[in-house]
Amino acid sequence: MDADANTVAKVNSLIISNAENQVYAHDSSFKFMRKEPDDLGSGATLLDDECFMGVGKDPKVVPIKAEAAT
C-alpha cells in the first residue's frame, strides 16, 4: 500500500497514543503527527513531546519517567 508521509505519521500517532508503557521502532527517524499547526514530529524528539508524554496523566500526581533505548 502506498502512503504519503502525513498518512504514515497519523498511523504512527494512533499507535503511540494507544501505547501504555513503551513504543518500539526500528530507529528514531520515524515521524508522528503533532498538534496543529506544528509539523511532523521526529521519533528522536518523542520523549520531549509534552502532548504524547502527558496524555491521560496528571503530571503532578504521576511522574513520567522516560528512558531512551540503548
Residue 64 confidence (pLDDT): 45
Q: Are 32 and 41 in contact (CB under 8 A)?
A: yes
All three cell numbers of 1, joined, read: 500500500
**Range 34-52 average pLDDT:** 78
Can you give the pLDDT at residue 62?
47
Domain boundaries, the chain: 5-54
User: Are 9 and 31 a contacting pair, CB within 8 Å?
Assistant: yes
Q: What is the mean pLDDT of the chain?
A: 76
The answer, yes or no, to whether the previous bond of 37 is cis (omega within 30 of 0) is yes
* pLDDT confidence of residue 38: 65
Higher pLDDT, 50 or 43: 43
Q: What is the pLDDT of residue 14?
A: 87
Quick: pLDDT tens for 50-70. 777 766 555 454 444 545 555
Q: Are 25 and 6 in contact (CB under 8 A)?
A: no
